[in-house]
Amino acid sequence: MKKMSLLSVSLLALLLLSACKPTEKESKQDSSSSQTSQISTSQTDSTDADVETNSSNETSNQEVPSASLDLQAIANQDFSSIAGSYEASGGNYIINTDGSFTYSKSDGDLTFPITDGKVENGMAVLSSNNFTFYVIPAGVDSPVSVPDFLGTDDNTRDRVIIDGEGMNLFFLN
């Protein structure tokens, strides 16, 4: 009888202790413009309070920039990762591997050499005549100096913004 009582009390104590033990679970937070991982610690007590701690040291909700764009190579005139023909509302845009840029529209083609480049704020910033080219990887916001194209910019995609006499936006993917 004493053994049965002792066994029952021990089992009850074990159940109560395991119910009060903190547990860890992982949850993912997804949105079109951000992905961060969080580790949540839930602690069960009389108030059933949940405590969440963010395991990320990031201060921004920006995604990790696209691995397909080599920004340093682009800034150094290696356009192999972005060379190609792209369509946008203003016409067709061709980025050539030789470091030139061609703008095709109904009244003819204009070709410009891309001369200066640097990596700044997570994007490649290039110059050509009176134009500035921003090669922006997915997950990086457009520069503050460039308007958001009335909601047509999409920071989940690699893109190029051309700032000059007007502004043009085209997506690389």
HEC sequence for 19-62: HHCCEEEEEEEECCCCEEEEEEEECCCCCCCEEEECCCCCCCCC
Q: Is residue 37 part of a domain?
A: yes
Q: Are residues 137 and 101 in the same domain?
A: yes
Of 6, 34, 61, the residue at which a domain comes to its end is: 61
**Cα-based distances in Å from 139 to 2, 51, 68, 128, 129:** 66, 29, 12, 25, 28
Q: Are residues 110 and 42 in the same domain?
A: no
Residue 79 has pLDDT above 50, yes or no: yes
Q: Are residues 82 and 123 in the same domain?
A: yes
Q: Is residue 46 part of a domain?
A: yes
Q: Are residues 51 and 105 in the same domain?
A: no
Q: Are residues 90 and 128 in the same domain?
A: yes
Q: Which of 66-80, 129-143, 145-159 has the lowest mean pLDDT?
A: 145-159
Q: Is residue 92 part of a domain?
A: yes
Residue 47 has pLDDT above 60, yes or no: no
Q: Are residues 44 and 104 in the same domain?
A: no
Q: Is residue 38 part of a domain?
A: yes
Section 87-112 average pLDDT: 85
**Between these two residues, 106 and 63, which has the higher pLDDT value?**
106
pTM of the model: 0.57
**Between these two residues, 69 and 54, which has the higher pLDDT value?**
69
Beta-strand ranges (E) seen in the chain are: 23-30, 35-42, 50-53, 84-88, 91-95, 100-105, 108-113, 116-120, 123-128, 131-136, 159-163, 167-171
Residue 19 has pLDDT above 90, yes or no: no
Q: Are residues 125 and 55 in the same domain?
A: no
Q: Please give the residue range of the domain that contains residue 47.
A: 22-61
CA distance 120 to 108: 33
Q: Are residues 75 and 110 in the same domain?
A: yes
Q: Are residues 42 and 76 in the same domain?
A: no
